[in-house]
Structure 1
């Protein structure tokens, strides 16, 4: 349930909070950088542990993108043995899973199951001919590569999220963009 609440905050913060230059997410230097490849889209990391949720392209048996589920989320359980693990039923259906709509022409609208108001788009970039996740945050388009949430205290049911940080690149120039939010 904590993951569900964190996910609600993360998407809500991206949607509602103005940029806050005083917000500095602490502790992320202790987090491992997960292995990425051509199929990796983005990942989410959050305190209080280093377990990471990966979002990767989902290709079918014939090597084509699965039109019904083009993005596949899973855990890297760094707090255990670093193993890959599928999301649980609850995580997939109430927190970190994605609802997908095929918009045609290699474009998909994705929404977190925990918060449907903020769309993410899976699109093929003209810059590098690869798929990327695009979100509009603080009126800027960003190719999302990482989301980090800093939690300090709170309870199991209501964690105290003090900072959210989204890292990515400008889809036109490839310049790095970091956007931070304070609840």
Structure 2
């Protein structure tokens, strides 16, 4: 039987120097990859916000079709929010269940004034239109720019007169 002292001599493991080298390499790799990761994160934040905006615009379009009227999407860039306002036609189902005469659509996901905010702290940075959709689902031409919270990545949400809503880079037509 071997003594406990001989077990220590034949024990396998890493020396302190080897561990420090590995930790140093991990640190260097982290410093190199962190800016790339942050850039990808910001790009995804802008893309997620643009997709959410497309969903909200399609919801307004569907309200106009359902109500057989017109719904305008009022965009408040200063406060980074938007709301749906009926400009003609009947109240859509689900909007203002307690007060159908109110033209502002108040329902799930809105505050008391009917405003909605983008979920991931992205910003609505510029718009050349408050899009209006009619009973056929067609609307106004326009572009809404969505930026990430640091304004380092942006995407355009483009609305065609036929009601098609798409996401494209800032330099697209």
TM value normalised by structure 2: 0.31
Higher share in helix: 2
Larger-Rg structure? 2
Say which structure is richer in strand: 1
